[in-house]
């Protein structure tokens, strides 16, 4: 495991968490029976999460491959 790859993975993980926390989540009441949370789609926040997820996946793959 290379230190530079580890640092990049940590940075990508932090970016993913920041993007994920920005996603708007709404609660919806279904006639008093139950509450369900749903995510508004599509929004630019959702796109940012998908992109951050892809970047994190690639960084972790590099980490596993010892690049």
The residue range of the domain holding 15 is 3-64
Q: What is the mean pLDDT of the chain?
A: 85
**Confidence at 13, pLDDT banded by 50, 70, 90:** very high
Partners of 26 in the β-ladder: 38
pTM of the shown model: 0.77
**24 touches 40 (CB < 8 A):** yes
pLDDT in tens, 26-44: 666 656 555 555 676 778 9
Q: How many domains is the chain built from? A: 1
* 56 or 39: which leads in pLDDT: 56
Question: DSSP secondary structure string, 5-47?
Answer: HHHHHHHHHHHHHHHHHTS-EEEEESTTS-EEEEE-SS-HHHH
Across residues 15-19, what is the average pLDDT? 96
């Amino acid at each position: 495991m290379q230190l530079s790859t580890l640092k990049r993975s940590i940075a990508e993980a932090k970016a993913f968490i920041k993007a994920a926390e920005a996603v708007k989540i709404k609660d919806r009441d279904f006639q008093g029976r139950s509450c369900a949370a749903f995510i508004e789609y599509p929004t630019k926040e959702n796109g940012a999460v998908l992109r951050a997820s892809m970047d994190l996946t690639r960084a972790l793959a590099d980490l596993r491959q010892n690049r």
